């Protein structure tokens, strides 16, 4: 039986933690990144933690990205980048440094990390996935609100497309921008429509379905293709 390896970036809680748990339950080896001791402790409590390696990394820190790339020795079947912040709700009153932080954490940091690690993803069958959102769809924006967050995720989608056009296409990878749905997490709130286990199982199923199918797609946890 072939052993698969995933790197999940941003795995201390919520969907990232759920993804690690899901892949461990499927028998994968998982490398997971956190930024603090509390995140590492949560990961080490998961069933199957003997197949888990924890690294410290912040997607907004180039030195962390370079160090993480040096530590990844095994080929990756999956690189899943889950980092993200909501940021200020009002674009007009937000301070420039607040806007810059959201754009860096949600778009440019994940893209720079993906470029640093893409050569470690298995050619032909590997997947690079970005945690996007339905709020990153321009065509689906009929309500407005949280415009900085929306813009950052739309930018992330664009950078994911550029990753595909460059090294992703050359290596025959599937590049996925993934909408996890409205999930009951700290960000999604208690009134969200689905729980973490439902979302991450659907995401993992979609990643399995798209492995070995090169291209860039914007899809939901349930397989729905989203308009750009």
Can you give the pLDDT at residue 154? 98
Q: How many CB atoms lie within 10 A of CB 56?
A: 16
Can you give the pLDDT at residue 190? 82
Can you give the pLDDT at residue 193? 82
Whether 106 maps to a domain, the answer reads yes
Question: Distances in Å between the alpha carbon of 214 and those of 137, 147, 170, 202, 223?
Answer: 22, 31, 10, 20, 16
Dihedral pair phi/psi, residue 80, rounded to 5°: -115, 120
Whether 187 maps to a domain, the answer reads yes
Can you give the pLDDT at residue 185? 82
Query: Per DSSP, which regions of 35-170 are E strands?
Result: 52-56, 78-81, 127-131
Range of the domain at 127: 5-220
Can you give the pLDDT at residue 1? 57
How many domains is the chain partitioned into structurally?
1
Can you give the pLDDT at residue 187? 74
Q: What does the block give as tokens for 193? A: 């429509």
Q: What is the CATH number for 194?
A: 3.40.50.720
Q: How many CB atoms lie within 10 A of CB 213?
A: 12
Can you give the pLDDT at residue 80? 98
Can you give the pLDDT at residue 218? 98
Whether 102 maps to a domain, the answer reads yes
Whether 225 maps to a domain, the answer reads no
pTM for the model stands at: 0.96
Low-confidence ranges of the chain (pLDDT < 70): 1
Can you give the pLDDT at residue 99? 97
Whether 226 maps to a domain, the answer reads no
Whether 227 maps to a domain, the answer reads no
């Amino acid at each position: 039986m072939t052993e698969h390896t995933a790197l999940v970036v941003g795995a201390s809680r919520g969907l990232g933690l759920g993804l690690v748990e899901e892949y461990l339950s499927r028998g994968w080896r998982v490398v997971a990144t956190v930024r603090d001791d509390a995140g590492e402790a949560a990961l080490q409590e998961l069933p199957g933690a003997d197949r888990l390696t924890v690294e410290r990394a912040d997607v907004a820190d180039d030195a962390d990205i370079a160090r993480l790339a040096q530590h990844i020795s095994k080929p990756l079947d999956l690189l899943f980048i889950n980092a993200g912040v909501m940021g200020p709700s009002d674009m007009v009153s937000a301070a420039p440094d607040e806007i810059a932080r959201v754009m860096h954490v949600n778009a440019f940091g994940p893209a720079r990390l993906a470029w640093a690690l893409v050569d470690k993803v298995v050619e032909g069958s590997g997947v690079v996935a970005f945690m996007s959102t339905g709020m990153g769809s321009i065509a689906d924006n009929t309500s407005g609100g949280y415009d900085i967050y929306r813009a950052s995720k739309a930018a992330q989608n664009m950078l994911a497309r550029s990753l595909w056009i460059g090294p992703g296409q050359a290596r025959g990878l599937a590049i996925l921008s993934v909408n996890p749905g409205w999930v009951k997490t700290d960000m999604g709130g208690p009134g969200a429509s689905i729980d973490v286990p439902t979302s991450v199982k659907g995401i993992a199923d979609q990643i399995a379905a798209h492995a070995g199918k090169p291209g860039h797609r914007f899809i939901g946890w349930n397989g729905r293709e989203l308009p750009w």
